[in-house]
Amino acid sequence: MKIIFIALAGFLLGSIPTGKIIAGGKGIDLQKTGSGNIGATNVLRTAGKLPALLTLLGDMAKGSVAVLLARYFAVGYWYEGMIGLIAVVGHNHSLFLHFKGGKGVATSLGVLLVYAPQAGLVTIVTWLLTVLITRISSLGAVISFSILPLTIYLLDAKEKLPISFIMSIILLMRHKENIRRLLRGTEPKLGKKA
């Protein structure tokens, strides 16, 4: 029962639509503007840098708090990771947005920073460097999470590999349209206003 309650709490945490709340404070409906996504990239394009930063930090916090909650109840590595993944699923399919949501990049990063801190830092640095070089947020996400299992294997406990594979698959599936646009060379760069 304890695991079920923590899992529900993780899903509810993940479901909090940080970007929609922050952009809504500026009179912007994220789901009807730009890409329609509730994540920091769309907030950046539609509302500006500070709202985007607040969205990024808020979405990361959801993932971190979910794992910390699981750790507090000493449920073990496997369940810590699963609760983190459930928070990501909550973000992607928010209870408060009729099970629509974001792509889970920031929430996944928040999970990793607590669940596997070294691998989380490498993932963040890889994402940031890719974005700084290419100006394409989705490419940073695709590259950094594609190598996540290898990063976990090299820097953390092998018991965490299954969670890293599941996380990578979830994220890549959420980015399938972005991947198609990347292959066609039509993926928009950061800085373009919606």
Residue 193 lies in a domain: no
**Total domains, the chain:** 1
Q: Cα(88)–Cα(65) distance, rounded to whole angstroms?
A: 12
What does the angle CA 88 – CA 43 – CA 19 come to, to the nearest 5 degrees? 45
Residue 34 carries which DSSP code? T
Residue 189 lies in a domain: no
Q: Domain limits at 153?
A: 2-184
> Distances in Å between the alpha carbon of 77 and those of 7, 10, 46, 158, 168?
14, 15, 38, 11, 17
* Per-residue tens of pLDDT for the chain, all 194 residues: 889 999 999 999 999 999 999 999 988 998 888 888 899 999 998 999 999 999 999 999 999 999 999 999 999 999 999 999 999 999 999 999 999 999 999 999 999 999 999 999 999 999 999 999 999 999 999 999 999 999 999 999 899 999 999 999 999 999 999 999 999 999 988 866 55
Whether the CB-CB separation of 127 and 140 falls below 8 Å is answered with yes
Residue 83 lies in a domain: yes
Residue 191 lies in a domain: no
Residue 116 lies in a domain: yes
